[in-house]
Amino acid sequence: MNSLKIFASVSATAALLLAAGCSSDSSDGVATPESVCAQIEDAGIGENCAPGDPGGLAVAATEKYDFDLPSVPGERGTVMIFDDADQYRKTVKSYADAAILAGPHRYGSEDALIFVQINEGLSSSDGQKVKDIVDSL
């Protein structure tokens, strides 16, 4: 009888967790470069998301994901995350200062400490889709 009570309790707890949207994966609602890159892929803008090494203007990033732009063959985009708001702001400023080289597609979320930079060849409509993704973080 005790094992039946334990089973019922465990089953009820599992049902509550599922109903609350909890699971054993890491999808806890926190944005990561990987999750943002996946959203960019889902929007049909990027493909081949893969971890990259922070360097250059992105050197202060904690983690970085790069992706290809099928609409701009041979060109890429980058999603970065930062542990520190000051480093995030400095990186955003560095990209703004290098706008002539970095292009117009730079989108950031100070709340999520996520910054996305995409090659200037991307269309403005696709850029707006990425901006919408970042703005939703």
Give the residue carrying structure tokens 């929007």.
Answer: 43
Q: What is the mean pLDDT of residues 79-100?
A: 91
Name the CATH topology of 25-135.
TATA-Binding Protein (3.30.310)
pTM check: above 0.85: no
Domain boundaries, the chain: 25-135
Q: Which helix (H) or strand (E) holds 36?
A: helix 33-42
- Of the chain, the percentage scoring pLDDT greater than 90 comes to 61
What average pLDDT does the structure give for the chain? 81
Residue-wise pLDDT tens digits, 3-44: 434 333 433 333 333 333 332 233 567 899 999 999 999 999
pLDDT of residue 55: 83
* Span 55-83, average pLDDT: 93
Give one DSSP letter per residue of 62-116, joined into a string: SEEEEEE-TTSTT-EEEEEE-S-HHHHHHHHHHHHHTHHHH-SEEEEETTTTEEE
CA within 13 Å, CB half, 12:
6
Report d(CA 135, CA 137) in Å as an integer.
Answer: 6
Q: Which residue has the tokens 């200062």?
A: 97
